[in-house]
C-alpha cells in the first residue's frame, strides 16, 4: 500500500493487538475500521514518526484512500478534541493519522474536556 499523503510505502507493524500500517517515509498511520479504538492504549509505541513532519503533512487535505480505488477521503475533526484533524474513507471507514496525531488522539486532556463544555476558550 502507498501512503495517501507522501506516496511512501506502508510497512506492516506488528502490535500485541494486530498489524497496522505505518508509512516508512512520513510516519503516518493507517487503521482499518475501528482499529484505532483498540490501539489507543499503545499509541506512543506505534506512533513513532516525527511530529513536526506530521504537522507539515497535516496541511495536505485532498487525498485518496489507499485501500479503496479512486475514493476521496473525508477531512474529519475529532468531536472530543477539535484540534485533531484526520482523514477517513467513506467506503471502508479506514482512518489516516499523520505522525504524532494518533498519540494526541489517544490522550484526552482536561483542557479538551473543558473546551468541549465551553468552560475554556482557545
Write down the pLDDT at residue 111. 59
Give the tens place of pLDDT for each residue, 12-42.
999 988 899 999 999 999 999 888 888 888 9
In the structure grid, which three cell numbers stand for residue 57, read together?
503533512
Give the tens place of pLDDT for each residue, 57-91.
999 989 999 999 899 999 999 888 888 899 999 99
User: What does DSSP say about strands 85-88 and 95-97: parallel, antiparallel, or unpaired?
Assistant: antiparallel
Q: What is the largest CA-CA distance in the chain?
A: 43
Of 107, 94, 6, 9, residue with least CA distance to 54: 6
Whole-number Å distance between alpha carbons of 43 and 118: 28
In the structure grid, which three cell numbers stand for residue 44, read together?
506512543
Amino acid at each position: 500500500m502507498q501512503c495517501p499523503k507522501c506516496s511512501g510505502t506502508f510497512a506492516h507493524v506488528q502490535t500485541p493487538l494486530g498489524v497496522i500500517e505505518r508509512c516508512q517515509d512520513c510516519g503516518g498511520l493507517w487503521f482499518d475500521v475501528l482499529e484505532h479504538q483498540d490501539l489507543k492504549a499503545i499509541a506512543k509505541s506505534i506512533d513513532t514518526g516525527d511530529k513536526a513532519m506530521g504537522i507539515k503533512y497535516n496541511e495536505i487535505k485532498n487525498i485518496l484512500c489507499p485501500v479503496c480505488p479512486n475514493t476521496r477521503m473525508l477531512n474529519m475533526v475529532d468531536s472530543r478534541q477539535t484540534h485533531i484533524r484526520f482523514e477517513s474513507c467513506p467506503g471502508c471507514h479506514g482512518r489516516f493519522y499523520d505522525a504524532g496525531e494518533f498519540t494526541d488522539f489517544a490522550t484526552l486532556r482536561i483542557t479538551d474536556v473543558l473546551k468541549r463544555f465551553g468552560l475554556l476558550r482557545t
